[in-house]
């Protein structure tokens, strides 16, 4: 296969793979809950599968309830791949002026009034109708069939909603047992989607929700075998079309009466001025600020508690209520006992008053909704499902109490010494303060706690961790540095060896060859002539150069050097330098217990020793050369001493080789001493430290790399 | 030998023609690969630039669903789609701002928004303009001058106030006490409406006195309570001018509850309750032509997207709905909810 062909094949393979992946994802989404709907799906068995879009949903004793009158609250479940199925449920409207029902074949749900694609069927008590329609981020109402005499709130209706192909049927059974049904055909229908519960402008309850696959027989049983008419949406708002419209006025009357309230209600603050120890019947209006553990309400003048209230319909925080009961004035606030509570309307939440702990401690905000900050000092759980936080703010401490079985993860995640902000009801009741603090804050939920700032980072533990971390970092850095130095030294040694080989193969061999040629020439010539003497000189020069080359090669090629071989290496180096015609005795001495010498140090000592031996052999004409290696506790000393002619030491007498020795010694921080007496010999003494402990090694390294440090060995001569 | 050390499919020894053929093969392969990648990238992609967000104060009401119908019809005619959504309550400003921001994040090609309140919407709109997103504001003046990227479509509130004032003056025969409820400084348009109403009464009906003024409240039930107090108070009230949809409903409920439906006239604003218009429980409603506002807003947005200059501010005349004209074609046109027409 050609290159282009291979590429085409690869591209095609990738396309197929990706297409397969996309198809797989689509199948997964379509099949959803383990595949097509095959079995009866008992909806409330799996509460985690439900998703809310608006509303306030509760599941209690087999009943799913939305207690909010939001317009368009939805609770969704199921799979986007479900096609033909029916949903049945018992439905109860809590309020007087809205609708509630079931959703089929829904997708792309959002929060909003008709914010989904799908079909909805339900009951509406505005016009006492069984309705059916379709939402596509807008509402198309197909059916509004009158239910006589009316749709009653607070009564259960059985509702069944079915989708088969593009046919949709709904049927309801009234409390009196009558069944009303309707059906439509929607060409271009939505083919599949989730199911759900929906309410509009009223709370509602659902129970016995069951989902089943639907067949053509199921549809026929609902429609009586009649082909459903084509769906035609209603294009005008209720009452716009000339038609009998009297039916709208009764619901309007009901809605009107539902919000009728006593205009002679008293303000909450005025209750504190009632005669003490005498209960007075009063009516008041207020907004609910807390429902548990006790009902608290607040108006523009203050707040109060309504313990053991008889509540006509479920209330939640933000509902305005009318309460009628016995007012009992207390020190900082009043209490309404034996109260009847009736909700008036919703969504009038009270805004909290931001106060300091000191202000709250005065009792001026008892029973009122406040916002307060403090530093968390403690957490504990108390009996009665109470989760308690203890906080400080300035000179005051206070408790914050949340009651209930809600999720406690947020409570557990609060860290001591965090600065947090709370919103809740300020109370001075000893039942909550336990007489430990001047006030407490009753939290509607654990979610009313906001962390403003975490605990300070600079704690003892963190500082210690930082120190240890820094030390570990330094240690590892130093270890890396040492390892890098070792690698560098090995690389240098390898390079030297390579040079030595090159020189041996080229230079030394050339000198040897030259020498042989000259010798041959000399043998051909007559002894004593000028050419012969020049030849002899040339041979001597070649011989000397050859020797120099051999010495350089020997210096470059130290042989694999371990510290234990330092002395033998020096000895063999010396042996190479002296030829058979020279009667120089080489003596090696090792004192002290041998220890491991770092490679760098050993290499430096070797080269210094080589140079010293070379100088002795070349210039001093000794008869005896002594090479000593002395190990001390923290150091090693190399001494090369000869009994040659010596020389006069002066500041200007340091030659190239001597300067080289000084540099090498300085590089490893060693001390070099050169001593010589004319006619009596020369001693080269170099003393290097050995690493004993990590701190000492670290200190030496730091000293070595300090460029501003003077070379201690430069003028250290005797 | 190619740079990677492999054998080339052709070499110079094969001649120029073979080299050209080999080169073509190579480029064909590359073109295949590039096309595949492009196709994969484009597969499933849908341009969100042809979608515009239309965000009214709320959905599902007789006031705002006609805007949906007008906008959807105009969008379809221009090959555009609309995303229609709003807060569930017509006083939920934070949710409306969140919807606007979400629409921008989705990359929609423009925003039509009817702000619930004037001041809080200024910053979000300025941010949209800074990002180059064309915006049409419906229903109120934000105080930001119209210009490139920002235009307004509003009901003519001057005319609306005059209509209501003249209606009250007519039905009271120029004499009587009037209560004005539903005053809301949070919306510039409502302030303009109220001032025009009072100016008309002062100018054209000096025998009519405004004896009570009340701010608008959170919802119809609170408005009902407020109107109850007015009607039960000491001052004789001959007519109520309710400046908002909620205050109109609340005032109507209060009239029914106090049995004064026949004796106290109610002139409201913004279409909501239709049946009481037929019975006379509500004398008249000054209705906004939100259908036209939605249509014009989409037209402006489309022109803006094509770089065509549009008038900065367009004022749409309101319509006075009464018992006499409730079934007329003019009223039906502004109550049209059929956003699905043409689908």
Model pLDDT for residues A648-678, shown as the tens digit of each residue:
766 555 677 888 889 999 999 999 999 998 8
Q: Which residue of A has its CA nearest to B250?
A: A256
Residue A377, domain CATH: 2.40.50.140
Q: Residues A327, A404: one domain?
A: no
Rounded to 5°, the CA angle B283-A345-A246 comes to 40
At residue A627, the pLDDT reads: 94
* A261: in domain: no
What integer is the mean pLDDT of B241-259? 94
Banded model confidence at residue A242, pLDDT cuts 50, 70, 90: low
Give the ipTM of the model, two decimals please.
0.84
At residue A716, the pLDDT reads: 44
Q: Residues A497, A371: one domain?
A: no
Q: Residues A549, A680: one domain?
A: no
Q: Residues A274, A190: one domain?
A: no
* A325: in domain: yes
Q: Which residue of B has its CA nearest to A53?
A: B88
Give the number of C-alpha atoms closer than 13 A to the C-alpha of residue B204, restricted to the C-beta side.
Answer: 18
- In chain A, the N- to C-terminal Cα span, in Å, equals 83
What integer is the mean pLDDT of B77-81? 94
Q: Which of A144, A96, A141 is nearest to A244 (CA)?
A: A144
Q: Look at residue A105 and give its three-state secondary structure.
A: strand
Judge whether B125 and B291 are in contact, CB under 8 Å.
no
pLDDT higher than threshold 70 for residue A700: no
Query: Cβ–Cβ of B219/A138 closer than 8 Å?
Result: no
Q: Which of A296, A267, A420, A308 is nearest to A366 (CA)?
A: A296
Judge whether A569 and A586 are in contact, CB under 8 Å.
no
pLDDT tens, position by position, A524-571: 776 667 788 888 888 888 887 887 777 677 667 655 455 557 888 888
* A477: in domain: yes
* 3-state secondary structure string across A546-591: HHHHHHHHHHHCCCCCCHHHHHHHHHHHHHHHCCCCCCCEEEEEEE
Judge whether B311 and B150 are in contact, CB under 8 Å.
no
Query: Cβ–Cβ of A245/B278 closer than 8 Å?
Result: yes
A11 → closest Cβ in B25, B33, B224: B33
R_g of chain B computed on alpha carbons: 29
pLDDT tens, position by position, A252-266: 777 777 777 777 788
Q: Count other C-beta atoms under 10 Å from residue A591's C-beta.
A: 12
At residue B300, the pLDDT reads: 95
Judge whether A85 and A91 are in contact, CB under 8 Å.
no
R_g of chain A computed on alpha carbons: 51
pLDDT higher than threshold 60 for residue B1: no
Residue A679, domain CATH: 3.30.565.10
Domain boundary among A560, A579, A610: A560
Judge whether A393 and A410 are in contact, CB under 8 Å.
no
Nearest-neighbour CA in chain A from B118: distance (Å): 21
Nearest-neighbour CA in chain A from B287: distance (Å): 13
pLDDT tens, position by position, A583-626: 788 999 999 988 888 878 888 999 899 889 988 888 888 899 99
Q: Residues A654, A569: one domain?
A: yes
Q: Residues A565, A555: one domain?
A: no
Q: Residues A444, A433: one domain?
A: yes
Q: Count other C-beta atoms under 10 Å from residue B178's C-beta.
A: 25
At residue B324, the pLDDT reads: 93
Nearest-neighbour CA in chain B from A4: distance (Å): 5
A334-343, A662-671, A673-682, A702-711: least confident range: A702-711
Angle between helices A599-615 and A460-503 (to 10 degrees): 40
Query: Cβ–Cβ of B229/A263 closer than 8 Å?
Result: yes
At residue A617, the pLDDT reads: 84
Return the percentage of chain B with pLDDT > 90, whole number.
Answer: 71
Choose the mutation target among A7, A186, A253, A255 for the interface with B, i.e. most B CBs under 10 Å. A7
> Both tokens of residue A627?
């090479």
- As to burial, measured by CB atoms within 10 angstroms (0-12 exposed, 13-18 middle, 19+ buried), residue B303 is middle
* A364: in domain: yes
What integer is the mean pLDDT of A696-700? 64
More confidently predicted of B31 and A691 = A691
Q: Count other C-beta atoms under 10 Å from residue A302's C-beta.
A: 22
At residue B21, the pLDDT reads: 57
Nearest-neighbour CA in chain A from B178: distance (Å): 22
A242 reaches B (C-beta below 8 A): yes
What integer is the mean pLDDT of B285-297? 97
Q: Residues A595, A474: one domain?
A: no
Run of H or E including A462: helix A460-503
E strand residue ranges, A247-404: 280-290, 295-299, 302-306, 310-311, 320-329, 334-345, 353-354, 368-382, 386-393, 396-403
Banded model confidence at residue B3, pLDDT cuts 50, 70, 90: very low
**For the ranges A254-268, A272-286, B4-18, the one whose mean pLDDT is highest:** A272-286
> Both tokens of residue B60?
């599902």
Choose the mutation target among B22, B69, B71, B88 for the interface with A, i.e. most A CBs under 10 Å. B88
A3 reaches B (C-beta below 8 A): yes
* A667: in domain: yes
Contacts of A140 in chain B (CB under 8 A): 340
At residue A281, the pLDDT reads: 92
pLDDT tens, position by position, A41-79: 666 656 667 899 998 888 888 899 888 888 999 999 999
At residue A651, the pLDDT reads: 55
B88 → closest Cβ in A54, A136, A235: A54
Return the percentage of chain A with pLDDT > 90, whole number.
Answer: 44
pLDDT higher than threshold 90 for residue A642: yes
Q: Look at residue A292 and give its three-state secondary structure.
A: coil
* A259: in domain: no
Angstrom distance (rounded) from CA B223 to CA B243: 11
Angstrom distance (rounded) from CA A517 to CA A186: 115
Banded model confidence at residue B10, pLDDT cuts 50, 70, 90: very low
Tell me which residue range forms the domain holding A572.
561-718
* A239: in domain: no
Domain boundary among A221, A251, A281: A251
Contacts of B59 in chain A (CB under 8 A): 71-72, 112-114, 138
Q: Residues A23, A46: one domain?
A: no
pLDDT higher than threshold 90 for residue B22: no
* A123: in domain: yes
At residue A717, the pLDDT reads: 43
Judge whether B228 and B203 are in contact, CB under 8 Å.
no
Angstrom distance (rounded) from CA A411 to CA A407: 8
Angstrom distance (rounded) from CA A287 to CA A444: 14
pLDDT higher than threshold 50 for residue A26: yes
How far apart, in Å, are the Cα atoms of A600 and each of A560, A566, A589, A635, A689? 13, 12, 22, 14, 12
Nearest-neighbour CA in chain A from B86: distance (Å): 6
Judge whether A139 and A133 are in contact, CB under 8 Å.
yes
Contacts of A137 in chain B (CB under 8 A): 83-85
Nearest-neighbour CA in chain A from B329: distance (Å): 11
* 3-state secondary structure string across A390-422: EEEECCEEEEEEEECCCCCHHHHHCCCCCEEEE
Contacts of A240 in chain B (CB under 8 A): 62, 274, 326, 332, 335
Q: Residues A441, A461: one domain?
A: no
Please report the residues numbered 13 through 52 in chain A whose beta carbons come closer than 8 angstroms to any beta carbon of chain B.
14-15, 18, 22
Return the percentage of chain A with pLDDT > 70, whole number.
Answer: 87
What integer is the mean pLDDT of A14-26? 78
Find all residues with CB under 8 Å of A61, minimum gap 6, and list them: none
Query: Cβ–Cβ of B36/A15 closer than 8 Å?
Result: yes
pLDDT tens, position by position, A348-378: 778 899 999 999 999 999 999 999 999 999 9
Banded model confidence at residue B37, pLDDT cuts 50, 70, 90: low
Q: Which of A309, A305, A454 is nearest to A368 (CA)?
A: A305
Q: Which residue of B has its CA nearest to A200?
A: B88
Contacts of B280 in chain A (CB under 8 A): none
Query: Cβ–Cβ of A240/B338 closer than 8 Å?
Result: no
Please report the residues numbered 210 through 229 in chain A whose beta carbons come closer than 8 angstroms to any beta carbon of chain B.
none
Nearest-neighbour CA in chain B from A139: distance (Å): 8
Q: Residues A555, A578: one domain?
A: no
Please report the residues numbered 130 through 189 in chain A whose beta carbons come closer than 8 angstroms to any beta carbon of chain B.
136-140
pTM confidence score: 0.68
Q: Which residue of A has its CA nearest to B221?
A: A259
> Both tokens of residue A274?
């009632």
Q: Which residue of B has its CA nearest to A127?
A: B275
More confidently predicted of B311 and B211 = B211
Residue A213, domain CATH: 2.60.120.560
Contacts of B338 in chain A (CB under 8 A): 233, 235
Contacts of A256 in chain B (CB under 8 A): 224, 253, 256-257
pLDDT tens, position by position, B88-128: 988 899 999 999 999 999 999 999 999 999 999 999 999 99
Q: Residues A444, A550: one domain?
A: no
pLDDT higher than threshold 50 for residue B338: yes
Mean pLDDT of chain B: 88
If one counts the domains in chain A, the total is 6
Judge whether A300 and A313 are in contact, CB under 8 Å.
no
What integer is the mean pLDDT of A297-322? 88
Q: Count other C-beta atoms under 10 Å from residue A312's C-beta.
A: 12
At residue A458, the pLDDT reads: 86
What integer is the mean pLDDT of A387-404? 90
Run of H or E including A71: strand A71-77
At residue A693, the pLDDT reads: 59
Domain boundary among A285, A316, A345: A345
Query: Cβ–Cβ of A113/B59 closer than 8 Å?
Result: yes
Query: Cβ–Cβ of B225/A114 closer than 8 Å?
Result: no
């Amino acid at each position: 296969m050609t290159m282009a062909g291979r590429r085409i094949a690869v591209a095609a393979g990738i396309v197929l793979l990706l297409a397969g992946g996309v198809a797989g994802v689509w199948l997964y989404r379509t099949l959803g809950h383990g595949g097509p709907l095959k079995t009866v799906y008992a909806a409330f068995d799996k509460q985690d599968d439900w998703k809310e879009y608006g509303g306030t949903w509760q599941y209690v004793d087999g009943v799913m309830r939305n207690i909010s009158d939001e317009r368009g609250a939805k609770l969704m479940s199921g799979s986007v791949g479900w096609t033909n199925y029916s949903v049945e449920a018992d439905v109860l409207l809590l309020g007087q002026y809205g609708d509630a029902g079931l959703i089929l074949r829904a997708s792309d749900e959002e929060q909003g009034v008709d914010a989904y694609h799908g079909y909805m069927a339900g009951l509406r008590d505005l016009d006492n109708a069984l309705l059916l329609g379709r939402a596509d981020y807008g509402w198309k109402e197909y059916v509004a069939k009158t239910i006589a005499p009316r749709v009653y709130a607070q009564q259960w209706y059985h509702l069944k909603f079915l989708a088969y192909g593009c046919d949709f049927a709904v049927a309801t059974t009234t409390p009196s047992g009558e069944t009303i049904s309707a059906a439509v055909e929607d060409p271009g229908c939505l083919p599949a989607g989730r199911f759900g519960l929906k309410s509009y402008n009223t709370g509602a309850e659902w129970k016995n929700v069951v989902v089943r696959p639907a067949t053509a027989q199921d549809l026929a049983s609902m429609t009586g075998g009649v082909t459903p008419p084509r769906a035609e949406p209603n294009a005008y708002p209720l009452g716009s079309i000339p038609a009998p419209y009297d039916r709208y006025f009764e619901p309007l009357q009901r809605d009107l009466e539902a919000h009728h309230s006593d205009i002679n209600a008293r303000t909450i603050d005025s209750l504190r001025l009632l005669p003490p120890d005498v209960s007075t019947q009063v009516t008041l209006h207020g907004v609910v600020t807390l429902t548990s553990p006790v009902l608290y309400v607040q108006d523009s003048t203050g707040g109060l508690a309504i313990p053991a209230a008889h509540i006509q319909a479920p209330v939640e925080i933000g509902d305005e209520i009318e309460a009628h009961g016995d007012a009992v004035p207390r020190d900082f606030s009043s209490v309404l006992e034996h109260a009847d509570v009736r909700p008036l309307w919703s969504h009038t939440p009270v805004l909290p008053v931001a106060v300091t702990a000191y202000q709250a401690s005065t009792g001026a905000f008892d029973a009122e909704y406040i916002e307060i900050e403090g530093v968390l000092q403690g957490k504990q759980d108390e009996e009665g499902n109470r989760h308690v936080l203890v906080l400080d703010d300035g000179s005051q401490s206070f408790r914050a109490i949340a009651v209930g079985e809600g999720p406690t993860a947020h409570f557990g995640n609060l860290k001591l010494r965090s600065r947090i902000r709370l919103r809740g009801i300020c109370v001075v009741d000893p039942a909550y303060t336990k007489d430990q603090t001047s006030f407490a804050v009753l939290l509607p939920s654990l979610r009313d706690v906001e962390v403003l700032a975490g605990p300070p980072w600079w704690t003892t533990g963190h500082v210690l961790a930082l120190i240890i971390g820094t030390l570990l970092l330094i240690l590892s850095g130093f270890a890396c540095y040492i390892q890098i130095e070792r690698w560098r030294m090995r690389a240098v040694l390898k390079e030297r060896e390579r040079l030595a080989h090159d020189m041996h193969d080229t230079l030394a061999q050339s000198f040897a060859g030259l020498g042989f040629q000259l010798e041959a020439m000399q043998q051909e010539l007559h002894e004593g002539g000028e050419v012969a003497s020049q030849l002899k000189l040339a041979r001597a020069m070649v011989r000397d150069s050859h020797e120099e080359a051999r010495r350089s090669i020997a210096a470059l090629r130290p042989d694999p050097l371990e510290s234990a071989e330092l002395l033998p290496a020096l000895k063999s180096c010396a042996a190479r330098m002296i030829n058979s015609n020279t009667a120089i005795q080489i003596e090696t001495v090792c004192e002290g217990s041998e220890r491991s010498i770092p490679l760098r140090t050993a290499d430096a000592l070797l080269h210094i020793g080589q140079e010293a031996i070379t100088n002795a052999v070349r210039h001093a004409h000794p008869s005896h050369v002594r090479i000593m290696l002395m190990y001390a506790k923290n150091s090693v000393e190399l001494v090369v001493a000869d009994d040659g002619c010596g020389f006069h030491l002066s500041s200007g007498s340091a030659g190239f080789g001597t300067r080289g020795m000084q540099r090498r010694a300085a590089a490893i921080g060693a001390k070099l001493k050169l001593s010589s007496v004319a006619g009596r010999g020369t001693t080269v003494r170099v003393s290097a430290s050995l690493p004993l402990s990590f701190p000492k090694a670290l200190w030496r390294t730091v000293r070595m790399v300090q460029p501003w440090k003077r070379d201690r060995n430069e003028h250290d001569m005797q | 030998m190619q740079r990677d050390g492999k054998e080339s499919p052709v070499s110079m020894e094969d001649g120029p023609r073979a080299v050209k053929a080999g080169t073509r093969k190579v480029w064909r392969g590359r073109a295949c690969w590039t096309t595949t990648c492009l196709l994969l990238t484009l597969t499933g992609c849908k341009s969100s630039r042809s979608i515009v967000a239309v965000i009214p104060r709320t959905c599902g009401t007789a006031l705002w669903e006609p805007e949906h119908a007008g906008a959807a019809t105009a969008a379809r005619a221009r090959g555009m789609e609309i995303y229609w959504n709003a807060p569930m309550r017509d006083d939920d400003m934070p949710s409306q701002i969140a919807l606007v921001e979400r629409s921008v994040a989705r990359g929609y090609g423009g925003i039509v928004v009817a702000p619930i309140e004037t001041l809080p919407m200024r910053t979000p709109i300025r941010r949209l303009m800074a990002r180059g997103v064309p915006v049409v504001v419906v229903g109120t003046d934000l105080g930001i001058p119209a210009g490139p990227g920002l235009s307004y479509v509003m009901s003519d509130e001057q005319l609306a106030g005059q209509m209501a004032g003249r209606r009250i003056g007519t039905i009271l025969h120029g004499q009587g006490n009037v209560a004005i409820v539903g005053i809301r400084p949070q919306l510039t348009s409502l302030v303009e409406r109220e001032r025009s109403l009072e100016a008309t009464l002062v100018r054209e009906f000096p025998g009519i006195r405004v004896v009570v003024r009340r701010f608008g409240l959170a919802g119809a039930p609170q408005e009902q309570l407020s109107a109850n107090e007015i009607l039960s108070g000491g001052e004789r009230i001959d007519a109520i001018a309710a400046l908002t949809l909620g205050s109109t409903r609340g005032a109507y409920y209060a009239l029914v509850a106090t049995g004064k439906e026949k004796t106290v006239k109610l002139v409201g604003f913004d279409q909501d309750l239709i049946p009481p218009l037929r019975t006379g429980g509500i004398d008249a409603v000054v209705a906004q032509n939100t259908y036209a506002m939605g249509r014009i807003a989409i037209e402006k947005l489309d022109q803006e997207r094509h770089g065509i200059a549009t008038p900065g501010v367009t004022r749409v005349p309101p319509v006075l709905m009464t018992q006499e004209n409730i079934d007329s074609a003019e009223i039906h046109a502004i109550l049209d909810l059929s956003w699905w027409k043409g689908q």
